[in-house]
Amino acid sequence: MKKYQVVVAGKMRACALAKINSECHVRQWDKIEPIPRNLLYEWLADAEGLVSTGDVRVDDELLAHAPHLRVIAQASVGYDNVDIAACTRRGIPFGNTPGVLVEATADLTFGLLLCAARRIHEGWNQVASGRWLNNHDVPFGIDLYGKTLGIVGMGRIGAAVARRARACGMQVIYHNRSRRADDEHLGAAYVAFDDLLAQADCIVVLVPLSPASRGMFGRAEFAKMKRTAYFINAARGGLVDTQALYDALKEGQIAYAALDVTDPEPLPGDHPLLTLPNVLITPHIGSATHETRDRMAMLTADNLLAGLAGRPLPACVNP
Ligand code: DGY
């Protein structure tokens, strides 16, 4: 049987790679650094399928180097690196992985909030470095019980975070492009964006990055928040004006930030944010559990193979 020609532009979970290998001839870039653009173009010359990664810009120029491409699949729910309109113009379906990472990402998002509120990482740092001296000089945080959580971007992950917050005794308000029909069931009240900024004790950001949402948290937005506010971003770094966030944290405009995503990403080791005492940053690990990454990779393989066979993708952004 003739095998499909496929480019895999980054590392991939073994279970999914085995599935792809059974039907495809694969050229894979499996180094830590992103694939060099020239090499990718060379490989794409005869490729029918592409497994892209978040650090590959999929745009008109790339597609022009891939005249035989019939499908692109990526193991993420976000696709801000992809020009979907350009794919659609060429009739190329783009598959992502919604749904399968909801609970893992909600766990990490709420975990960041909990960790920041109770200074768990600072406590660990004290103990690990032998500075655990007495009961008064330990890191002090805030109660989550009774506080108001504001969720900006109430999709599936937002709803899963709301469930966790309600279980901890928090009030939940949210802002979304449109009001959810099930918000009473979620125990979450829809409010205007500015009202959320003013009322929330803790703000969780779960909005997809697009040209419209880029930089939606800047100086004006931080100025509207409580000075005691905790700001959690688990979506994309580009939603936030990093300099404005730095200034807000430095000047006490808000109390604390916990970020799973940053702009730039990776964050350089000498970045000014890392000098602040009131910030906690994890390296974009929202979906990083063994089970979830396997599910994402398998859905990516299913998307790819369906597209190669001319079938509808199980999860397609541009059907
Ligand atoms: C996603 O799926 O978009 C996660 O952020 C991983 O990139």
Mean pLDDT by 10 residues, the chain (319 residues): 94 98 97 97 98 98 98 98 98 98 98 98 96 92 98 98 98 97 97 98 98 98 98 98 98 98 98 98 98 98 98 96
Residue 49 sits in the same domain as residue 79:
yes
Annotated catalytic residue within 13, 119, 236, 293: 236
Report if residue 219 sits inside a domain. Answer: yes
Same domain, 241 and 113: yes
CATH of the domain at 300: 3.40.50.720
Residue 71 is predicted with a pLDDT of 98
Are 129 and 255 found together in one domain? yes
Residue 16 counted as domain residue = yes
Is 284 an active-site residue?
A: yes
Same domain, 196 and 231: yes
For 161, counting Cβ atoms within 10 Å of its Cβ (0-12 exposed, 13-18 middle, 19+ buried), the class is: buried
| Ligand 1 centre distance from Cα of residue 148 (Å) | 26
Claim to verify: residue 275 and residue 131 sit in the same structural domain: yes
Regarding whether 82 and 130 lie in a shared domain, the answer is: no
pLDDT attached to residue 264: 97
Task: Tell me the torsion sign for CA atoms 145, 244, 259, 215.
Answer: positive
Six token digits for residue 98: 């919604």
Claim to verify: residue 59 and residue 108 sit in the same structural domain? no
Together in a domain, 134 and 30:
no
Residue 106 within a domain: yes
307 CB near ligand 1 (under 6 Å): no
Q: Which domain holds residue 87?
A: 4-99+291-308
Rounded to 10 deg, the angle between the 14-23 and 290-308 helix axes is 20
Q: Is the shortest distance between the CB of 49 and ligand 1 below 6 Å?
A: no
Decide: 111 in ligand 1 pocket, CB within 6 A.
no
Burial (CB count within 10 angstroms: exposed 0-12, middle 13-18, buried 19+), residue 258: buried
pLDDT for 2 equals 84
Let me know if 27 is a catalytic residue: no
Query: What 3-state class would DSSP assign to 251?
Result: coil
Pocket lining: 286 vs ligand 1, CB cutoff 6 Å: yes
CB 312 within 8 A of CB 302: no
With H, G, I as helix, E, B as strand and everything else as coil, classify residue 144: coil
User: CB under 8 Å to 291, separation ≥6 — which residues?
Assistant: 104
In a domain, 318, yes or no: no
Catalytic residue among 265, 271, 293, 295: 265
Tell whether 131 and 255 lie within a shared domain. yes
State in Å: Cα 61 to ligand 1 middle. 24
Structural domain includes residue 75:
yes
Q: Indicate if 301 and 272 belong to the same structural domain.
A: no
Residue 152 domain flag: yes
Is residue 311 annotated as part of the catalytic site, yes or no? no
Ligand 1 within 6 A of CB of 155: no
Model confidence, pTM: 0.96
Are 59 and 207 in the same domain? no
Beta carbon of 77 within 6 Å of any ligand 1 atom: yes
ipTM given for this complex: 0.94
Write down the pLDDT at residue 88: 98
Q: What is the pLDDT of residue 1?
A: 76
Tally of structural domains, the chain:
2
Q: How far, in Å, is the centroid of ligand 1 from the Cα of 284?
A: 8
Residue 71: strand pairing partners: 49
Ligand 1 center from residue 206 Cα (angstroms): 11
- When computed from its CA atoms, the radius of gyration of the chain, rounded to whole angstroms, is 21
Residue range 242-286, pLDDT digits in tens: 999 999 999 999 999 999 999 999 999 999 999 999 999 999 999
**Ligand 1 within 6 A of 78 CB?**
yes
Decide if 286 is inside a domain. no
Residue 289 has what pLDDT?
98
- pLDDT at residue 319, as a whole number: 84
Domain-located, residue 94: yes
Token couple for 132: 């655990």
Q: How far is the CA of 110 from the centre of ligand 1 (A)?
A: 16
Q: Are 145 and 193 members of one domain?
A: yes
